[in-house]
Structure 1
Amino acid sequence: MQAVNRLIADRSGATAIAFALTIVPLIAIAGAAVDYARATSVKADLQRAADATALHLARESLLGRRHDAQAVFTAVLVETGVDVLGTSATGAFVGTHRVQVDATAVVPMTLASFLMPRVDVGVTATAAATQRTTPFEIERANLSVEAADYNELRVYCYHERRSERLGVIHSESGLREDGFLKIADNTDEGVAAAPQTLSVECGPGEALSYHLINIRNARTSAAARRNNERWDHYTDTTMRGGVAQYNTQYRDLIETIRCRTAEECEPGHRDSIIPGNAQRGRTPAVNTEVCEPGEYMYFGWEDRPPHIGQWTDQDYDDIRVVMRCGGDVLGPISVALVE
């Protein structure tokens, strides 16, 4: 107390100067603390708004609708009563029905404005929407080694509206492949491999599709597979009235037969409705009926389709695959923040 009294009574001026020099940084520190707390609060509000915007945009994308991120973000701020000046938001698709929203705001400093006039605050939110469907179960079956060409079959999902080829979704994990998924080839090792069932799905608006790789005269040679002439055929499957349409570049590339039971789709079985291997020069069957979940679809591929102007035996058994049909939408849409 005596020290304070001496400070008050001191008229020399030196102490007053020292006190002034001390109080300025104290005020700056206190002001910076207040402004930092305000900026932190603004950032939290911004993050909540960005999260809500990303969730909304992801859900809408699954329903086939696109919205402007800034408009949605502004509406969220208004609805939640958050009053932040100088905000902006952008949205970008970083995967199928996965949206990343980046939002920024400018927070003017008040008490510490002489040190820093403003603080730029930024946040990021990523959300993904999914809707599970009945899985397609693809069996690697009845691969033929009679062809001189190397044949490899892959699967993918085709989104007709966006003309986009996407990886399939694994039914067990729910994760989407980054690229196409190989399901079969006609090498000796591929034919000898034990049959394996792959359970995959496609998202809403997508259809399970096939990619046939044909490399001429290369079935038995890895070097030839690297160097010989290569053909790539894509089905880019679309659905019309519940019936799959295989939109290949060349006609007569694929034979499709619907089977009500697995036995009907098994070549050689007494109940089989599948043509035998020895039949050549055929016109391929084309399925025109809905393949209901639980029924089967047979695919027989001709690696040299008739309409490309080269020799072909038209036997449609160069790769044979049986698939248990799926595709019906199951359950509600699920939307979640990710990363």
Structure 2
Amino acid sequence: MKRVSRFFKDKSGNIAVVFALSLVPVMGLAGVSVDTARLVNVRTALQAEADATALNAAVGGPDQNHGAQISAMNSRVLANFGDAGLSDLSINGAWDGLDFRVNASARVSTMLIHTLPAIGDSVRVSVRATARLHQPLLQYEPPEVSWLDPEAGDYNRIYVYCYDPDPEADKTPEQRRTQRTPVQDNNGINYLTRWPNQYSWPRCEEGETISFELYNLRFSRTNPERIDHNPDNDANWCQHSPTAGVPNPCRHRYFTDTALGNGQENHTGLQYDILETVLCESADECRPTSEGGIITSGKNRTPAQAERGCSPGRYMYYGWEDRPPGLPGGTANWTQMGWTDRDYDDIRIVMECPQIDTSAERYVRLIE
């Protein structure tokens, strides 16, 4: 016992013991500083490469092959860091509407930090860059396919127009809508093909977007001429009663007033849940599932909304509900104004995504 007591009272060698005990955390902290600085440098360089690649690819536009830009970035990164412990490099890029996004990641080996518990011998570094192509002149073409439900009790007509979404423009909603042109109705009339000398597809100006109007005329499937009559005379045939908020209850006009945001269509003019949108990789995909496509059918459902922007080579499906949910009035049957079957197939249009006018000046900027 005396020997043990003397051992604990003996202070010789304290410095050596303290140094030995503190060496591990000191070396760990030193490793943290060295490796952290190294990881930051690699990440900064990788981010700069991603930014440059996104910008260069975006300038070419969605219709150009961006594979060369991705390959060039891969080669540069490996040339600069291949001998510095960088491995498992992954780089990919893709268009989303008018946004080109680059995602890149790699593993960077550590020099000293892995001496600490639970720290591996490499750390994954990830970056992302998105460049937006500001190409205001988009060339839209007439619909590939359009269907209007011939069984509807209402008369429906689809119009197309150009919309100016500029918030700084001192214009009324009517002034923002130009080149309004009838496209088709549910009497089987295609205005563009039947009267090509009278009606033509709009060519929007810079900054404008193609938009649609649905004109729903209640109880008039067999009386389409009413659309041009004086609304003051609607009481002679309309089965709905006017209210303070709906003075013409048998005439409903729905404007999409489409604006592009983050490469996606925003239908700023729609107050009701009236439109279903689905992005298709091909025209064949934009068919009902019963015909081998991807378009859902059925009543009393929530409409799908496209989550990606429309870029060249793809197609956008638009499915309309001519009697959207949320209108005032009774809902027991179709003679009441609030009734809806929510099938979103009363009007169906398939549009090819717009082409970019390569003759106009274009510029890009990073948005993330």
Report the TM-score, using the length of structure 2 for normalisation. Answer: 0.46
- Kindly state the Cα deviation for residue 160 of structure 1 after the two structures are TM-superposed: 1.0
Q: Is 1:154 matched up with 2:167?
A: no
Of 225, 236, 256, which aligns to 1:235? 256
Answer yes or no: is the 8 Å Cα contact 1:292–1:326 preserved in 2. Answer: yes
Task: Please list, as runs of the form range in 1=range in 2, the aligned pairs for 1:224-263 lying within 5 A after superposition.
Answer: 224-225=226-227, 226=229, 227=234, 228=238, 229-263=250-284
Amino acid corresponding to residue 160 of structure 1 in structure 2: P
| Aligned mates of 1:188, 1:208 — CA distance in 2 | 23
SS in 2 for 1:306: coil
Q: Is the 8 A contact 2:183 2:190 kept in 1?
A: no
Does residue 321 (structure 1) correspond to residue 324 (structure 2)? The answer is: no
1:188 deviates by 4.6
Within a 5 Å distance, the mapping from 1:7-22 to structure 2 comes to none
- Determine the C-alpha separation between the residues in 1 that align with 2:157 and 2:291: 29
How many Å separate the matches in 2 of 1:188 and 1:137? 16
Q: How many residues align?
A: 188
Superposed, 1:256-295 pairs within 5 Å as 256-267=277-288, 270-276=291-297, 279-295=298-314
Are residues 1:216 and 2:244 paired? no
Shift of residue 271, structure 1, vs aligned partner? 3.4
Deviation for aligned residue 1:329: 3.8
Give yes or no for contact 2:138–2:209 (8 Å, CA) kept in 1. no
- Look up the match of 2:206: 204
| 3-state DSSP of counterpart to 1:280 | coil
1:290 counterpart letter in structure 2: G
Counterpart residue type for residue 296 of structure 1 = Y
Q: CA, structure 1 residues 205+189, in 2 after alignment: closer, same or farther (shift >3 Å)?
A: closer
Note if 1:165 corresponds to 2:186.
Answer: no
Instruction: Give, in angstroms, the shift of residue 251 of structure 1.
Output: 2.4
Gaps of 5+ in 2: 1-135, 239-249, 329-337, 362-368
The answer to whether the 8 Å contact 2:160/2:213 transfers is: yes
* Structure 1 counterpart of 2:138, from 133, 141, 155: 133
> Which deviates more from structure 2 when the two are superposed, residues 315-324 or residues 260-269?
260-269
C-alpha distance in 1 between matches for 2:205 and 2:318? 22
The alpha-carbon deviation at position 298 of structure 1 amounts to: 0.5
Counterpart AA for 1:323? M
Counterpart of 1:308 (choices 323, 327, 331) is 327
**Partner letter of residue 217 of structure 1?**
F
Go from structure 1 to structure 2 and tell me whether the alpha carbon gap of 1:326 and 1:223 turns closer, same or farther (over 3 Å shift): closer
What is the TM-score with the length of structure 1 in the denominator? Answer: 0.50
Shift of 1:253: 0.8
Q: 1:257 to 1:308 in 2, by over 3 A?
A: same
Instruction: Find the residue that maps to 2:326 and give its secondary structure.
Output: helix
What letter corresponds to residue 265 of structure 2 in structure 1?
Answer: A
Name the counterpart of 2:315. Answer: 296
1:186 is matched with 186
- The gaps in structure 1 that reach 5 residues or longer are 1-130, 168-178, 334-339
Distance, in Å, in 1 between the alignment partners of 2:203 and 2:189 is: 27
* Amino acid across the alignment from 1:152: R
Compared CA separation, residues 222 and 159, structure 1 to 2 (3 A): closer
Q: Any residues of structure 2 matched to 1:116-127 within 5 Å, and which?
A: none
Please tell me whether the aligned partners of residues 250 and 307 of structure 1 are also in contact (alpha carbons under 8 angstroms): no
Which residue type is aligned with residue 250 of structure 1? Q
